[in-house]
A and B are shown apart, each in its own frame.
Chain A
């Protein structure tokens, strides 16, 4: 019978603290500056595009053609329709392409 909390619990708590620090620090650092330069503002406005794109990029090339095409389909559908439609279209494309 293992005692709890154990060393893994401590590791988990350390990971939780580090994760919370990443989530709060950007704001704490930025709020020390009052009005920021338009270039900083533009960079912050680009965060969702740039970081999410960097996150997805390897998925475009590290698997087969089915996976690459499913992502392209999802992206094209998202440009015209809602997010949930795009996800559904991407998934259907993936399942069908994997059958081929």
Chain B
């Protein structure tokens, strides 16, 4: 491994570290809840290893307990994970350094934090495989180990709300959003997405607020766009310096 790759990999590990506090309880609680819901250990680990999308896995075990038809569970998982279609289209533009096989694996790992970190990395310079997969390896192994710990020691995980762990994910995602504040029309896009998300959440219901709120923000971005605003064109020309 040459020094540029090593440097990239080290940055990837460093950027993944803040996620620890959020992922460990999230994964452990999933393991504990899945045991309570009556899933076998093998099925719990296969779910975490192959689906690798926490919010949709929570919904899956919740619905398994309600004895609804299997197709409606798959549909719910699809609805919750629909936002990944947008992540995929967005980050796919920055994977020019990736081989076909690396791309296939990169999309498998495309969870919210790795998407946001990859976007931020591409904005500062170039997103390379060493960075992405170092981040992914830290995230994936933490996810699986914490999940296993939740399965084994679920009973002693206890009430996480005492330490605020139940609210780490919203707090963490808020920090991630603010990281993109220098992008064109950040504030109007943020406000419209929040308002539409809340409107949908209280009328149509979850999980549609994510995709519909997000799409409202994207439509505003498209309407407000001027040809010279494009961030990647700007950064390729070296005009953009993001702290």
Interface residues of A (CB under 8 A from B): 2, 4-9, 11-16, 18-20, 22-31, 38-61, 63, 67, 70-71, 74-75, 77-79, 83-84, 86-87, 90-91, 94-95, 98
Contact = CB atoms under 8 A, between A and B. Distances in A.
Contacts of B81: 18-19, 22-23
Nearest to A18: B78
30 contacts: A4-B42, A11-B60, A12-B43, A15-B77, A18-B81, A22-B78, A22-B81, A23-B88, A41-B230, A41-B232, A44-B89, A46-B183, A47-B86, A48-B90, A50-B221, A51-B87, A53-B189, A54-B194, A54-B214, A55-B112, A56-B194, A57-B201, A61-B198, A67-B170, A86-B171, A86-B175, A87-B21, A90-B175, A91-B21, A91-B167
A25 B194 CA distance: 26
Contacts of A4: 40, 42-43
B98 to A, nearest CB: 11
B220 to A, nearest CB: 8
Interface stretch (B48-56, B127-135, B143-151): B48-56
B179 to A, nearest CB: 6
Contacts of A20: 107-108
B147 to A, nearest CB: 13
Contacts of A2: 40
B52 A19 contact: yes
Contact of A24 (B43, B88, B232): B88
B92 interface: yes
Contacts of B47: 12, 15-16
Interface residues of B, number: 99
A84 B40 CA distance: 35
Contacts of B190: 49-50, 53
Please indicate which of the listed interface residues A2, A6, A43, A91 has the most CB atoms of chain B within 10 Å of its own CB: A43
A48 B180 contact: yes
